[in-house]
Chain A
């Protein structure tokens, strides 16, 4: 039977875990960071400064630790950067929260909770904080980014319209990136290698699609060679296949190439058919026919000037022989990734697989500049001079290193750099609402966040959510007082809904599920409302029903959009808008692609500064507390970066100088060269806040001491 053990999930436990992780991670953060050696169970060794890899290598058992690691890896999957900062920031946030509990007077304490036990009291309290965190993340952060921080942003592009990138600014950006990724002795070299590669592959017309291509096929675009010094790494024009020729026939000049995915030699029978042999002569004739057919196909290829045959399968001896006779080089057993990469390079249009070679129709030939064997450290490779399309000029990176572990580290770093650039070249939308309630004379900022990459969330979808509520606002105006109180209750309610939905992370929700959820929430809400606010309900009931309909429509139309943008955040805003008896303006701005800030904790110090300012103006106690905690935790990152520095470059000096500059409206001066992507930082911040919310909402951790059989059973059922 199930034997289980329960432990209180608390901030204290989470903090202990996070501190251990921080201790490991902080040794390899920043330019002064050092390497970590990981051994695999197979006995291989891996060198890494990649936070994600380290955390995974630890194979942590503690449930909270495992949750943190999961959050980090899902963040990494998206952005490819920031694992170490994630842990440090999270740890500081937890520390900040922990410090609050020690204080006797807690602004978030509610009277009725005191009857419960201490632990449950704490849990409820954490729940409120986590709600406040969600509010912050979904409503406040974007506004601060857009209204205050954006004035400090620099653009990586030398001309914003064309999105051209000059080498020096790319170097600055990548220098900062590689600082935290590769060992110090190879840092400069890898930087130059990456820049060379970047500019060799790019043409004037290249855009984000190049990053996508390189990111998707990075494994095929690099070759690792052990036993050579790192400085022997280089870039080779063309594509290097990690295979040897089955037959190599030297050919000069431009040559035609053909890709096949099945054996050229016809077989006796294909699957599902039967071949009946009635006599020996018949067998011999069919063998003869097969031979002649193969011969004819190869002859035809030769007449088409095909000199190179790439095959994703192993070809029979006969084919190889006739290829050799006809002067056609053959490379066999290409992986499907290699084939699709070659196809993407030579021909961006979708590929039509060649039909049976019955009529010798070979239409899919492509021109290749050269094809020759390449010998790297006495191992032979196939070197293809593919002619790229207008956007990508194929080049390969040859990575050398004394040990495989180091090569893997460099490969990882280069791959991550392309991921980071891919993110940087996208616009980031910051959509939020500002609303001022003039009657009270106070101005408070309510921001609705609808962040997400612009191309994923079509504007029409958002528009249709917003439109129906504009008219209801007018009706509510006279009931301002009630609205205020209603809001208080309502916001709590809404946030618990958000939590409900965040409990199902990373699963693709179906549209039916989503609408159900929405309707359920709505009805729940309505019931609650009926008790206290009858007049309001009258006003709203129609609106609700229409909205319900709208929701369904929207979720059908923009399923993808709703998947990616926070599901929970749709609902609260619609409710809130409904009940705000004030004038409002819908603001949608976006952070243009290529926004950067100088490295060395500039982003964190800036955000810290503006958050503190915001907190001072803020009236709601939760918001103030949360903003303060986040603002202070942000400083943990530059503090870790400047840990080893002394004197003028120590953290207090830097911080005081920065704050002074901000107060006097002077430009910030950074002590370090290098740039970092704002998008990456922003995404990191939201990921950490989401992770923290998750941690805080847990009140009990139940350990189940049993083999995870359920998964096991499901698997076997699937197989059957």
Chain B
């Protein structure tokens, strides 16, 4: 019975962005996310005062899911970043920082939100259409016939997550593993639309990262005793598999809404057990070699099957059911009665394996689109971070398969894009404004705010007091170490740009990113040979970055548009 209680009135605040409290909380959030950004980002340790485990991370997904945000405006910001991350895995911090910057930059301008939103939207569509166009100077095609660019992509993701605590060698090893795991999920003979398989990540903590490995098929963890009991199968042909999704424990199934009256002396348990043994006989006569059950198998049935040299494994769990169905080609059996012969599947072979202290039962498939990635790391927190990173990398590879382009990473895309926008708004403001009611001055102001928001995102890549420069030809990013002696000769100080595409041997002129400089035309249309020659590029996922950019601008627009906040205090 619910109690009828009077509702408390809500709290209504006008013009939320102008209040000091909101500004401070926004800047706190911004400080948190910017300090995490990039390969040299600082780690955050999140722990609950009431106990629970401590999380060390610099990833947006882990960070934001642990942070407890109470202010509604921040909640909008963090949930939109989290939603972005859950659909694209990558570019979460980029989205968060850009969004904060955009909000912060337009605050002092004194323009109406209508104008700001309208112009932001124009600038966003300018960016999107440029990044999607053929002439775009900051994206490269991904060649699936060689592993080079794919490896670069994976490596960039791994290096940007310092909380994984990987050495250079380990990074190389894990990148190769991830790429292999991804390639194993692609079916060999695909016609029409391909359905990707799955990489299952198997935890193996307290081991060296170098011990990580990829195996085709599925690993089922078991205790050593259980494993010893399983009899070795000597068979040259493929093994016949039966996969049960219903319980084989001898429970009496649902009897309906009415009552069932059992006469004295009638044992339903025996009746059901008889049924189970009949099932066992059928399985044996069908020459099944391996019985897998999602739930529990009755010990008598298990023993019966073992006696007939059939391996029976129960308590598989629901998570493994789908990959098992896919891999073995079985139909999960839900009946205790007759089993249609089409329901059986097969595996090539089974074996036992020991990794570290854990024992596994390994099912080796005929045709592999399912693989297991055994992931090792030294401790729990580092392992969690590595696992998240691997999932991100696998997801990014999938996205890249759909849209085979990659953006130049290391901040070069952002500086290039900012240079492009500056140039566009100076040269051709009418085409952007079209029939809008905004003036050119307003456009210049907003464009400057937008570009500096993009540039301060890459500015936060530098955490050690170094300087960030940009060249006046490509609009790429170059960073100088903090203790560099003088600013006389940039060419000797700088070696490579952020993404690694260009080196300083060319005749370039540089300027500080934060200084005001004249708008210039960044070189569009990447020369093909430039991409081919570079072996160690830093790359970003195009799909994720595009979406991140859109989400950041949309969210910023949304927040700038708020005129009231009504907080329900119930």
Contacts and interface: CB of A to CB of B under 8 A. Distances in A.
Interface of A: 24, 27-28, 32, 34-41, 43, 45, 47, 54, 57-61, 183-185, 226-231, 267-281, 283-284, 287-288, 291-292, 295, 316-322, 324-325, 377-378, 401-406, 644, 707-708, 711-712, 715-716, 719
A291 B335 contact: yes
A320 B181 CA distance: 33
A286 to B, nearest CB: 10
B1 A716 contact: yes
B328 to A, nearest CB: 14
5 contacts: A227-B87, A277-B268, A279-B266, A291-B335, A321-B335
B255 A325 contact: no
Contact of A34 (B118, B254, B263, B562): B562
Contacts of A716: 1
A227 B547 CA distance: 9
B555 A185 contact: no
Nearest to B247: A317
A287 B7 CA distance: 55
B340 A288 contact: no
B12 A24 contact: yes
Given A59-B9, A276-B260, 9 more contacts: A58-B9, A183-B561, A228-B87, A277-B263, A284-B274, A291-B337, A319-B334, A321-B332, A378-B87
Contacts of A278: 263, 266
Given A59-B570, A185-B554, A283-B266, A403 B258 contact: no
Contact of B4 (A35, A231, A712): A712
Contact of B260 (A59, A229, A269, A644): A269
Contacts of B343: 321, 324-325
A460 B177 CA distance: 82
Contact of B114 (A184, A322, A377, A405): A184
Interface in B260-309: 260-263, 266-268, 270-271, 274-275
Given A59-B7, A185-B557, A402-B80, A267 B256 contact: yes
Interface stretch (B69-77, B372-380, B444-452): B69-77
Q: Which of B3, B83, B262 has the most CB of A within 10 A?
A: B83
A61 B554 CA distance: 35
Contacts of A54: 564, 566
B518 interface: no
B558 interface: yes
B268 A268 contact: no
Contact of A322 (B84, B274, B335, B547): B335
A28 to B, nearest CB: 7
A280 B562 contact: no
Q: With a 10 A CB-CB cut-off, give which of A59, A231, A274, A378 has the most chain B CB atoms.
A: A59
A295 B343 CA distance: 14
Contacts of B332: 321, 324
A544 to B, nearest CB: 46
B18 to A, nearest CB: 13
Contacts of A317: 245-246, 334-335
B473 to A, nearest CB: 32
A657 B262 CA distance: 91
A273 B257 CA distance: 8
B207 interface: no
Given A36-B562, A59-B7, A403 B266 contact: no
A386 B563 CA distance: 43
B103 to A, nearest CB: 14
Contacts of B84: 227, 402
A231 B124 CA distance: 12
Nearest to A280: B271
Nearest to A285: B271
A377 B82 CA distance: 13
Interface string B220-254: 00000000000000000000000001100000011
Bin chain B's interface residue count. 35 or more
Contacts of A707: 4-6
B557 A183 contact: yes
A41 B271 contact: no
Nearest to A294: B335
B442 interface: no
Contacts of A59: 7-10, 568, 570
Q: Which of B4, B76, B558, B569 has the most CB of A within 10 A?
A: B558
B567 interface: yes
Interface in B126-174: none
Contacts of B555: 402-403
A28 B114 CA distance: 12
Nearest to A379: B87
Contacts of B114: 32, 184
Contacts of B7: 59
Given A184-B561, A404-B79, A269 B334 contact: no
A275 B79 CA distance: 54
A274 B258 contact: yes
A280 B266 contact: yes
Contacts of B259: 269, 273-275
B363 interface: no
Contacts of B6: 707-708
The CB with the most chain A CB atoms within 10 A, among B112, B260, B565, is that of B260
Which of A27, A36, A227 is most buried by chain B, counting CB atoms within 10 A of its CB?
Answer: A227
Nearest 3 Cβ contacts at the A-B interface: A269-B258, A267-B256, A321-B334
A27 B87 CA distance: 34
Contacts of B80: 227, 402-403
A61 B8 CA distance: 8
A104 B318 CA distance: 82
B432 interface: no
A402 B256 contact: no
B331 interface: yes
B10 A58 contact: yes
A119 B246 CA distance: 78
Nearest to A288: B337
Given A321-B332, A402-B551, A275 B9 contact: no
B258 A268 contact: yes
Given A41-B570, A325-B340, A402-B551, A47 B254 contact: no
B113 interface: yes
A372 B471 CA distance: 51
A61 B274 CA distance: 69
Contacts of B558: 35, 47, 183, 185, 402-403, 406
B329 interface: no
B570 A402 contact: no
